[in-house]
């Protein structure tokens, strides 16, 4: 190679080496985590776990602005505005004030809160989780909407009398893990007993509206709504002990499964709360619920039933009504269509001790919740305008006594108590 070309080639080779030896520019520094944003996002998730939206938002209203009527045997309560509006909401509350409401059931001014706000469960929520929910609520858009006063008759409108109720039925205290159980079981217990406040519906209440046993999941009637929240432990009702964990998770997440579907108040819980939880947390809840044994026998219903002759006649009438109105969807032998029309045979939601839920469904119809896992649920039409009380009682009696089902017959009087009660 001539010398000039050799020199040029060497120069080019050296430049290539220099180019290849250059280091890549350092990556941009990682974005610093925003603890406040993380806390707010955590609080949004926990607020969903606590089902805060369902109670503090009226249909078509501003989120968390309150105003939802909550009828009780003692009067009508209206949920308050908990947006960060300083005049009408809780914008002037501190994190300490918020924690005191959650943990002690006291308002900012120290007055007692009515236990329709489930502080008897929320007292188990940790301070860190309470602060996260507070941070989320304070990040919301304030809504200048005055809270509606409660309509409670005497003496229930005297808040100071709550002191006696609290002395009998309320013991504040954060959740304590059981060292003999797994982390998953403890996480499920924390969610079920605390934020999820499951026994607020699935427990028996006394004449003063109190749950006397924190571990009571034996089922309870929601009196004003006239829906029955079934036992989560009795093999004669929901009996989750023989469910697979995946089946429980599917029902909690989507509102439907091959075994059953949720309607009424539970549909709202799935739509506003459970469908937003992680599969990990749902599995933990299912693990805890499935592990609960029946600690308290279901209270028998004290009502007069039909005679054997009357029940036999109702079965014949009910069979005709079923064929005309129900068989197309629920099939001839009550097997239903999986995840579309729930089975009626061997379905504990049909055979539980209280027949009010199947009565409500025949009268008012309804839909499972629309969720990501079941965005277009199949519903059931109402038949209150087509069937008499006697016909409804007959078809419910037929369903509860056919295809291996062995539940007590119901009565036209029981149907009459449900007719006219709003569906939700």
Do 250 and 276 lie in a common domain?
yes
Residue 144, domain member (yes or no): yes
Q: Write the CB contacts of 246 (distance below 8 Å, at least 6 apart in sequence).
A: none
For residue 370, tell me if it sits in a domain. yes
pLDDT value, residue 238: 63
The number of C-alpha atoms within 13 Å of 305 and in the hemisphere containing its C-beta is: 18
Copy the structure tokens of residue 310.
Answer: 């009357």
Determine the Cα–Cα distance for residues 293 and 99; give it in Å rounded to an integer: 32
Separation CA 216–CA 19 (nearest Å): 74
ω into residue 155 within 30 of 0, thus cis?
yes
How many whole angstroms separate alpha carbon 353 and alpha carbon 238? 11
Please indicate, yes or no, if residue 133 is contained in any of the structural domains. yes
User: Which of these three, 261, 291, 321, is where a domain ends?
Assistant: 291
Number of domains in the chain: 3
Residue with tokens 């003496």: 155
Give the pair of three-digit tokens for residue 233: 């432990």
**Domain assignment present for 58:** yes
Residue 150 CA, chain-centre distance (Å), reads 24
β partners of residue 366: 380
Residues 199 and 74 in one domain: no
> Could you tell me if 192 and 312 lie in one domain?
no
Q: pLDDT per residue over 379-402, tens digit each? A: 889 998 999 999 999 999 999 999
Strand 220-222 to 151-152 pairing = unpaired
Judge if 83 and 116 occupy the same domain.
yes
Any domain includes 18 = no
pLDDT digits 0-9 by tens, 212-238: 877 778 788 776 667 888 888 766 666
| pLDDT grade for 188, boundaries at 50, 70 and 90 | very high
Residues 41 and 165 in one domain: yes
Contact yes or no for 202/230 (Cβ under 8 A): yes
Would you call 406 helix, strand, or coil by DSSP? coil
pLDDT score of 421 = 59
Q: Are 147 and 91 in contact (CB under 8 A)?
A: no
Residues spanned by the domain of 330: 308-418
**Residue 340 confidence (pLDDT):** 87
Residues paired with 382 in a beta bridge:
none
pLDDT recorded at residue 151: 94
pLDDT (0 to 100) of residue 18: 40
Query: Hey, is 272 helix, strand or coil?
Result: helix
Q: Are residues 141 and 189 in the same domain?
A: no
Is residue 13 in some structural domain?
no
- Same domain, yes or no, for 133 and 198? no
Q: Enumerate the β-bridge partners of residue 337.
A: 341
Q: Give the separation between CA 183 and CA 281, rounded to whole angstroms.
A: 11
Q: Which of 118, 134, 169 is the last residue of a domain?
A: 169
Q: Kindly state the tokens that stand for 120.
A: 């008897």
Say which residue the tokens 């606590």 belong to: 50
Q: What is the dihedral of CA 83, 86, 88, 94, to 10 degrees?
A: 70
**How is residue 265 written in tokens?**
């108040």
Tell me: do 224 and 198 sit in the same domain: yes
Same domain for 330 and 279? no
Asked if residues 268 and 54 have their Cβ atoms less than 8 Å apart, the reply is yes
Strand partners, 78: 69
Q: What is the per-residue pLDDT for 293?
A: 64
> pLDDT digits over 158-172, tens only?
999 999 999 999 999
Q: Could you tell me if 125 and 188 lie in one domain? A: no
Higher model confidence: residue 22 or residue 67? Answer: 67
pLDDT digits (tens, 9 = 90+) for 59-89: 889 999 999 998 888 899 999 999 999 999 9
């Amino acid at each position: 190679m001539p010398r000039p070309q050799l020199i040029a080639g060497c120069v080019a080779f050296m430049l290539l080496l220099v180019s290849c030896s250059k280091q890549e520019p350092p990556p941009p520094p990682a974005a610093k985590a925003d603890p406040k944003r993380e806390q707010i996002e955590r609080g949004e998730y926990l607020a969903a776990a606590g089902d805060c939206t369902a109670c503090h938002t009226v249909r078509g209203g501003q989120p968390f602005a309150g105003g939802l009527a909550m009828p009780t045997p003692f009067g009508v309560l209206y949920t308050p505005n908990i947006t960060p509006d300083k005049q009408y909401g809780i914008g002037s509350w501190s994190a300490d004030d918020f924690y005191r409401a959650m943990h002690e059931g006291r308002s900012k001014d120290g007055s007692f809160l009515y236990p329709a706000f489930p502080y008897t469960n929320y007292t188990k929520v940790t301070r860190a989780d309470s602060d996260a929910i507070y941070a989320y609520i304070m990040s919301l858009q304030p809504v200048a909407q005055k809270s509606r006063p409660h309509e409670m008759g005497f003496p229930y409108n005297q808040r100071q009398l709550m002191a006696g109720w609290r002395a009998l039925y309320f013991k504040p205290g954060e959740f304590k893990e059981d060292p003999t159980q797994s982390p998953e079981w403890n996480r499920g217990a924390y969610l079920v007993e605390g934020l999820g406040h499951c026994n607020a519906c699935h427990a028996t209440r006394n004449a003063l509206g109190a749950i006397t046993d924190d571990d009571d999941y034996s089922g309870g009637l929601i009196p004003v709504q006239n829906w029955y929240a079934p036992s989560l432990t009795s093999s004669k009702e929901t009996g989750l002990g023989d469910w697979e964990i995946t089946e429980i998770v599917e029902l909690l997440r989507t509102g439907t499964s091959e075994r059953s579907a949720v309607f009424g108040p539970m549909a709202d819980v799935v739509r506003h709360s459970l469908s937003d939880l992680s599969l990990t947390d749902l599995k933990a809840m299912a693990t805890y619920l499935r592990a609960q044994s029946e600690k308290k026998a279901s209270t028998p219903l004290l009502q007069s039933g039909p005679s054997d002759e009357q029940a036999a006649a109702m079965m014949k009438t009910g069979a005709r009504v079923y064929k005309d109105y129900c068989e197309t969807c629920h099939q001839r032998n009550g097997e239903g269509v999986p995840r579309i029309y729930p089975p009626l045979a061997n379905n504990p939601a049909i055979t539980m001790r209280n027949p009010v839920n199947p009565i409500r469904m025949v009268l008012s119809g309804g839909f499972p919740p629309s969720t990501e896992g079941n965005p277009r649920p199949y519903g059931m039409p109402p038949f209150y305008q087509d069937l008499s009380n006697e016909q409804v009682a007959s078809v419910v009696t037929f369903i509860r006594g056919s295809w291996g089902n062995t539940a007590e017959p119901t009565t036209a009087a029981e149907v009459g108590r449900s007719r006219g009660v709003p569906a939700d």
